[in-house]
Amino acid sequence: MMAASGRLACFRLPPLPSVGELIKLYNLRAEKQLSQNFLLDLRLTDKIVRQAGGLRGAHVCEVGPGPGGLTRSILNAGAADLLVVEKDTRFIPGLKLLSEAAPGRLRLVHGDILTYRLDRGFPPNISKPWEGDPPDLHIIGNLPFSVSTHLIIKWLENVSNRTGPFVYGRTRLTLTFQKEVAERLTASTGSKQRCRLSIMAQYLCTVHNCFTIPGRAFVPKPEVDVGVVRFTPLVQPQIQQPFQLVEKVVRNVFQFRRKHCHKGVDCSLRRVVLS
């Protein structure tokens, strides 16, 4: 028991200024035009990290760490190699402080996740066969609303092509979205929330809506609540066709969804794509 506690303690960060104190220290403010909302409650960031599964000794990429609240929870969960990709230069000094507090465990990249080559971000030896278990690699992020949908579509195309972060195998993702988007991603057949995003996500992944974070937990408070969604790529996609073809058909099917869609749209979609 004491040995296990000792192993856990070795992953814990040393005493540091709180996330709120770092925000004041570096005079950080969430930029509305960038859809930035800080999550300062470490109990909630810990809860997000738990949804990803066991991170002890894992490789992790965190998208847009900002002031580093979620970053701390990932490190405290025992991640051995955490790559953080942050576009906003204002957050770099605080993230460097975390890197110094976790020597050899946090790698900081000042860049844009939309263009960063995640297929080169981790050692090749962590790869697992697509037909086997997922690799010990996770993507986690409290995503800005302005890029979340665009980013998940990009990653879904990567899943289809087994490129980007999926060159290592069926890499799992645990991400935040506006509650409405989270509900659309996980909407079942026949649901009023069923849409293009639902099918594009679910034909390639198992998608689970983990829990909802109330908007009041964020600083500044957004006008909506936030959903935490976990994605695990399927061994075999539900539709055996190129991503661009599926996306084109789905877009056309749902273009006039209110007037023309019905409960059989998923079956009809498969027939159209497979014909």
Q: What tens digit of pLDDT does each residue of 186-208 get?
A: 999 888 899 999 999 999 999 99
32 shares its domain with 166: yes
- In sequence order, what DSSP letters do the residues of 42-75 get, joined into one string? HHHHHHHHHHT---TT-EEEEE--TTSHHHHHHH
| Mean pLDDT along residues 28-41 | 69
Positive or negative: CA dihedral 150, 151, 152, 158: positive
Residue 275: pLDDT band (50, 70, 90) is very low
- Do 213 and 255 lie in one domain? The reply is no
* Average pLDDT value for residue range 230-235: 98
Is there a single domain that holds both residue 247 and residue 161? no
Q: Are residues 150 and 269 in the same domain?
A: no
89 shares its domain with 125:
yes
pTM: 0.88
pLDDT above 90: residue 13: no
Q: Are 94 and 38 in contact (CB under 8 A)?
A: no
Considering the domain architecture, whether residues 192 and 96 belong to the same structural domain is answered as yes
CA-CA distance, 114 to 158, in Å (whole number)?
12
Q: What is the pLDDT of residues 245-255, one digit of tens each?
A: 999 988 888 87
With a cut of 60, say whether residue 218 has pLDDT above it. yes
Verify that 120 and 24 share a domain, yes or no.
yes
Task: Specify whether 266 is located in the same domain as 164.
Answer: no
Range(s) of the domain holding residue 18: 2-238
Distance CA 100, CA 118 (A): 23
Three-class DSSP category at 244: helix
CB 266 within 8 A of CB 246: no
Helix (H, G, I), strand (E, B), or coil: what is residue 261?
A: coil
Q: Please indicate, yes or no, whether residues 256 and 214 belong to a single structural domain of this protein.
A: no
Total number of domains constituting the chain: 2
Q: Which amino acid is at 223?
A: E
pLDDT, tens digit, 9 for 90 and up, residues 149-166: 999 999 999 999 999 999
Task: Tell me, rounded to whole angstroms, the distance of Cα 103 from its chain centroid.
Answer: 24
Mean pLDDT value across residues 218-245? 92
Q: Are 76 and 13 in contact (CB under 8 A)?
A: yes
- In 3D space, the residue among 157, 162, 121, 160 whose CA is nearest the CA of residue 139 turns out to be 121
What stretches of the chain show up as alpha helix (H) in DSSP? 2-9, 19-25, 42-51, 69-76, 92-101, 145-161, 179-185, 196-202, 243-253, 257-260, 265-274
Binning pLDDT at 50, 70 and 90, where does residue 63 land? Answer: very high
**CATH code of the domain containing 132:** 3.40.50.150
244 and 194 part of one domain: no
